[in-house]
Structure 1
Amino acid sequence: MTPIDQPGAADTFDPLRPRLIRVAYRMLGSVADAEDAVQDAFIRWMRTDRTAVREPEAFLRRTVTRLCLDRLRSARHQRETYIGPWLPDPVVEEAPDEDVTLPLMLALERLSPLERAAFLLHDVFGASFEDVAATLDRDPAACRQLAARARDHVRAARPRFHVEQQRGLEIANAFFAASRTGDLTALGAMLADDVSIHSDGGGKRAAAVRLVRSFRHVMKLHKSLAVLFRKYGSHLVRAGFVNGLPGFVTMEADGEIQTTALEIDGDRIVAIYITRNPDKLRHLH
């Protein structure tokens, strides 16, 4: 019997699939790419002599991470030529994943693939540096240095003030109502002075090709958007947490959905993340 014929591959793999997809998504920022990487890992798992694997989860996490590293290296060029701001695919959940929020995922984009892997595996997923070293084919001391460098780079992306889940959803719902009805007074009361808008259309839907920065510019944009919302409509599909941040999913006038995530510091919105690229929203349909 060849390894690929051995029974039980799926019995071991399927319970681990959600966790492996979580690792891959945090590495890649793409739901489709994460699912592809995990499926590739399953094919390799079927071809492996599984009787020689003592810890299937560690083995599979190592396999998925290495597949993601290969994908990350090729993705760097794609990100450099991307039209407008790049945002990770939105994952909408009832409760937030506070370990890896959207600002942190953007900070991870500035790291090398190895720094990103070392940080995620050790700081987020709790792997020992010995396990990280085996995954990255580096010695533990080098992995500690990779994780430490990553930690220094992403420290600023950690929230300064914790926002209670219910309060975050209240602010998200209030923001939706004020922005869609054109209540600029209520909208302005929610925004920080240095608020910014990151809008990802990927060149496929209308979106700002540069970050919109400052209270004045964000309010000016929303004054224009309010006219469009009143004329063409924008309907709330659901509120929830988008990549760990309070936000919502809407159906827009062009028949496409979009997500909005709000980074909140205290009671003020400091950043607005809008994903409109249809390629990044397919899994939400």
Structure 2
Amino acid sequence: MTDEPNDAFDEHRRLLFHVAYRILGSVTDAEDAVQDTWLKWSAADRSRVADPKSYLVRIVSNLAMDRLRSARARRETYVGPWLPEPILTSGDTADAVANADALSMGLLVVLETLTPLERAVFVLKEAFGFTYAEIAHAVERSEETVRQAAHRARGHVQARRPRFQADHNRQRAVTERFLTAAMGGDINTLMQLLAPDVTLWTDGGGKVRQAMRPIIGADRVATWFAGIAARPYQGIEPADMIVELVELNGQAGMVFRGAGRVIATLSLDLDDEGTVTGVHNVANPDKLRAVATGTVHHF
């Protein structure tokens, strides 16, 4: 095998992973889709491929949509709330910082409510700036069908997740205050930070004990965190936990470690005034592998 297919594939590998991850919300499934894309690419007659990037995006988009359709059935029987798999990120360019919300846990949760086609179209258009003609080619639909899917997806997302200008400094400051208050069981400060209708999603996947339904309301969420701070979690005393502030999915987040392993991640949704409107807590060990490896994804 020549180096040519490797060169073209490697050039676009990061793009392919991010397309697949945004469509699937799963690192493992996204990596599998990228691997399957490589297999199809390596077996293709590349002499007839005029635009390798377009060709590869078409393959990975369709593979990801197929995987999402089968994953949806499995997620219907998932124990407790299903959250996307968090990833460590580094948005080190001005464009990345401005578009950090496109990778956030909050947005990925909303994308779960779209059809596979709507999700793929939204991702390719909003996150990567593909034209409708390019997307139509990628998802193998007519341009009119793609435009309609994009319109439905955009309206659905905007109704459930207003777009706020990303502010890394504010997000980090609020995250630090939230962490200090939560670890100290400071309900008063938590109440100051939380919106009245804040929602907490906890994903243990039936593997670790977590809330089985979303917890709604500042009082209930603050009380939940105060309780966590006062007792062992997965057999680990609060004093023995190490908490690290990191960038998760393009935004400030927290990684909790104890007993030599990653035990949970926490990320916050903020409104334009810096008030916490949503909290995403992932503790299912199957979803913490990407964070545990320390792999940082640049976007």
TM-score category by the smaller chain?
A: over 0.9
What residue number does 1:251 align with?
Answer: 257
- Kindly provide the CA deviation profile for residues 61-100 of structure 1, in whole angstroms up to 9, marking residues without a partner as x: 0000011111011011111111111110101224452323
Aligned pair count?
Answer: 281
Kept after mapping to 2: 8 A contact 1:104/1:157: no
| Shift in Å, 1:146 | 0.8
Change (3 A) 1:239 1:159: farther
Does residue 79 in structure 1 map to residue 47 in structure 2?
A: no
Identical-residue share of aligned pairs (%): 39
Q: Pick from 248, 268, 281: which aligns with 1:274?
A: 281
- Tell me what 1:15 maps to: 11
Provide Cα deviations, 1:226-247, integer angstroms capped at 9, x if missing partner: 2116981263442123223321
2:124 equivalent in structure 1 = 121
Taking a change above 3 Å as real, the CA distance of residues 110 and 35 of structure 1, as seen in their structure-2 partners, is same
Structure 1 residue 177 displacement after superposition: 1.2
* Structure 1 residues without counterparts, runs of 5 or longer: none
Q: Counterparts of 1:167 and 1:122 in 2: how far apart (Å)?
A: 28
Aligned to 2:246: 240
**In the alignment, is residue 185 of structure 1 matched against residue 188 of structure 2?**
yes
- Most deviating of 19-28 and 162-171: 162-171
1:126 positional shift: 1.4
Name the counterpart of 1:262. Answer: 268
Report if aligned partners of 2:204, 2:284 keep a CA contact under 8 Å in 1. yes
Deviations 1:167-200 (A, max 9, x none): 2111111111111111222222111111111000
With the length of structure 1 as denominator, give the TM-score of the two structures. Answer: 0.92
Partners of 1:251 and 1:152 lie apart in 2 by: 39
Q: Given residue 69 of structure 2, which amino acid in structure 1 is its aligned partner?
A: R
Contact 2:54 2:138 (C-alpha < 8 Å) held by counterparts: no
Q: Indicate if the aligned counterparts of 2:187 and 2:223 stay in contact, CA closer than 8 A.
A: no
**Equivalent position to 1:100, from 103, 124, 128:** 103
**How far, CA to CA, are the matches of 1:239 and 1:56 in structure 2?**
38
**Equivalent position of 2:66 in the other structure:** 70
**Separation in 1, partners of 2:266, 2:123:** 25
Asked if the contact 1:24–1:65 (Cα under 8 Å) also holds between the matched residues in 2, the reply is yes
1:27-176 alignment, distance < 5 Å: 27-95=23-91, 97-176=100-179
CA contact (8 A) 2:253 2:267 kept: yes
1:6–1:46 Cα contact (<8 Å) kept: no
Deviations 1:46-65 (A, max 9, x none): 11111111110110000000
Normalized against structure 2, the TM-score is what? 0.88
Q: Note the C-alpha offset of 1:139.
A: 1.1
Aligned letter for 1:43?
L
Separation (CA, whole Å) in 1 of partners of 2:57 and 2:109? 22
- Given candidates 179, 194, 197, the residue that maps to 1:194 is 197
Unaligned runs of 5+ in 2: 92-96, 293-299
Residues 181-227 of structure 1: CA deviation (Å, up to 9, x unaligned): 11222222111111111000011011101000011211221232121
- The letter of the residue matching 1:281 is L
SS at match of 1:54: coil
Residue 6 of structure 1 deviates from its aligned partner by 4.6
Q: Secondary structure at the match of 2:47?
A: helix
